[in-house]
Amino acid sequence: MKQRLTFVSLIAVMTAASVPAAQERVDKDIQWKIRREATDNSQIMPTLHVLTDVHGPRLTGSPSLKAAQEWVVQETTRWGLRNAKLEPWNFGHPGWANERLSVHAIAPFKDALVAEALAWTPGTNGAITAQVVQLVIPSAPTKDALAKFFDDHRARVKGKFVLVGQPGVVPVTILPAPKRRDDNDVRAQYDPVSPQQPNFGGGGGPAARPDPNVVPAGQVAEQFDQFLVAAGAAGRINDAGREHGQIRAFNNRTFDVAKAVPTVVMRNEDFGRIARVLAGGTPVELEMHVVNRTYPEGATSYNVVAEIPGTDKAQEVVMLGGHIDSWHAATGATDNAIGCATMMEAIRILQALGVKPRRTIRLALWSGEEQGLLGSQAYVKEHFGMAENPKPGHANFAGYFNIDSGTGRARGMSVFGPTEAAAILRDATRPFADNGFFGANATQSRRRGGSDHTSFNEAGLPGIGVQQDPIEYGSHTWHTNLDTYERIIEQDAQQSAMVIAAAVYHLAMRDQLLPRLPKDRMPPLPK
């Protein structure tokens, strides 16, 4: 009798295990309407045009960013969204913009050279002609060695343009990385039973303990800038170190133009040419004209929000968005105007269909992302708080969808929370497998970084990051002077808007909020 009961129990367990978990009830009619609206009436490219061609670049704190944000308020209001507005947060630094830049070789050859200004550095106060000297900053110097280096070169740099470092050796790319991911690889990554995470490298164990006698690299950089200012250098030239004229120009880390000389980042091909001529013993003379302007009012920056009000669960909110700020070397199309245009399109589609969501659907376009996710951090702190010290809005949050990896079509999602949250998103987006979208995975990392959804993850909220085909993002357009309207694939963005609109709508209509990790399973904040 005991053996029979055991056998019956085993059969019952096996039968229960073979019954699939209840799937989400997906509104297939609204998904079909979303596809048709996204295809027939897309506004993605007109939106992208205004954000890039008219208002690009959009550096945090700059007038062009503010103008782009104000246009978003006007456009979303025209679409019929409610409560469109700018929400201020404290950036704490003046805005900055480059208005004019030219660098020409005068001798021994004559040529127009390609360069971009380093943000938050001063202009030249007119065209300046000066000779070039090359300095290679010592690697990992002690305090005494760095002081001696400055003393040895102080007189040499006065009134000169300083070419900093050796030119980077940029090898020819023989086998470029694929621009689209293989469908089987993506399916494996989002396999709900045994997800295969792509290998992006990293690891290597704990960092070595720093040598107390060595000046940290960040301090070396700041002291070198101060040295150039004090020694009266005419300007600084950095090597972009990238192939085919690509330039990534970031910023003076102090955000104080008084602590740097006029600085440009020059394409590797021109930088290397100058360095080789100098190494051959021939003097080089350049003319540089840089007009930069600072804007004290930029210390207050803004996020843009607009929404479709909810009905019976209006106090609960589903959010979608991306960062609207960009770097200044191009018009910021793939990073991240196309992300903003895609999210604006997703909420426009829902508004055009006349949906009446149970929960409020809120669009948010952040600033300060490029300086460290500052705008989204400020918003989360103001509206939701942290899991350890939540505000009332924390309990009513249904999820935030973020897109920020270029023009490639959406291929999958990651959500902060339990596996049940990923299963819900997987069911809601399953009909879009024909577009190459293959599901969702759960993450329980509260480490902030990468993009704005991690500001929500850090707070213990369901941030949902959208993964995309790479196209040319990491290789050509991310933060470079090539990041323009021409690099956008319209159909990819349309397909991304479809799946995001459908997923947002699904979360806005469910009886329950997206499942979350309970307090006793909430991971601690990373150190």
The string of pLDDT tens digits covering residues 383-429 is 999 999 999 999 999 999 999 999 999 999 999 999 999 999 999 99
The pLDDT score that the predictor gives to residue 348 is 98
Residue 19 has pLDDT above 60, yes or no: no
The string of pLDDT tens digits covering residues 266-292 is 999 999 999 999 999 999 999 999 999
- At 159, list the tokens: 């009134």
472 vs 243: CA distance, rounded Å: 13
158 vs 297: CA distance, rounded Å: 34
The string of pLDDT tens digits covering residues 29-76 is 999 999 999 999 999 999 999 999 999 999 999 999 999 999 999 999
Mean per-residue pLDDT of the chain:
93
Show Cβ contacts of residue 515 under 8 Å, excluding neighbours closer than 6 positions: 417, 418, 420, 421, 424
pLDDT band at 527 (very low <50, low <70, confident <90, very high): confident
For the segment 465-494, the average pLDDT, to the nearest whole number, is: 97
Residue 197 has pLDDT above 90, yes or no: no
The pLDDT score that the predictor gives to residue 198 is 58
The pLDDT score that the predictor gives to residue 22 is 67
3-class secondary-structure state, position 318:
strand
* DSSP letters for 129-187: EEEEEEE-PPSS-BHHHHHHHHHHHHHHHTTSEEEESPPP-----SSPPPSS--HHHHH
Residue 18 has pLDDT above 80, yes or no: no
The pLDDT score that the predictor gives to residue 195 is 77
The pLDDT score that the predictor gives to residue 501 is 98
For the segment 6-28, the average pLDDT, to the nearest whole number, is: 52
CA atoms within 13 A on the CB side of 401: 35
pLDDT band at 4 (very low <50, low <70, confident <90, very high): very low
pLDDT above 90 as % of the chain: 90
- At 4, list the tokens: 């029979």
19 vs 345: CA distance, rounded Å: 38
Q: pTM of the predicted model, to two decimals?
A: 0.93
99 vs 291: CA distance, rounded Å: 5
The string of pLDDT tens digits covering residues 122-135 is 999 999 999 999 99
The pLDDT score that the predictor gives to residue 207 is 58
pLDDT band at 193 (very low <50, low <70, confident <90, very high): confident
Question: Residue 79, class by beta-carbon neighbours within 10 Å (0-12 exposed, 13-18 middle, 19+ buried)?
Answer: middle
The pLDDT score that the predictor gives to residue 407 is 98
Helix (H) / strand (E) containing 31:
helix 28-40
The pLDDT score that the predictor gives to residue 206 is 54
518 vs 9: CA distance, rounded Å: 32
* Residue type present at position 223: Q
Residue 467 has pLDDT above 70, yes or no: yes
The pLDDT score that the predictor gives to residue 421 is 97
Name which residue leads in pLDDT, 439 or 10.
Answer: 439
pLDDT above 70 as % of the chain: 94
The string of pLDDT tens digits covering residues 67-120 is 999 999 999 999 999 999 999 999 999 999 999 999 999 999 999 999 999 999
Residue 524 has pLDDT above 90, yes or no: yes
The string of pLDDT tens digits covering residues 502-517 is 999 999 999 999 999 9
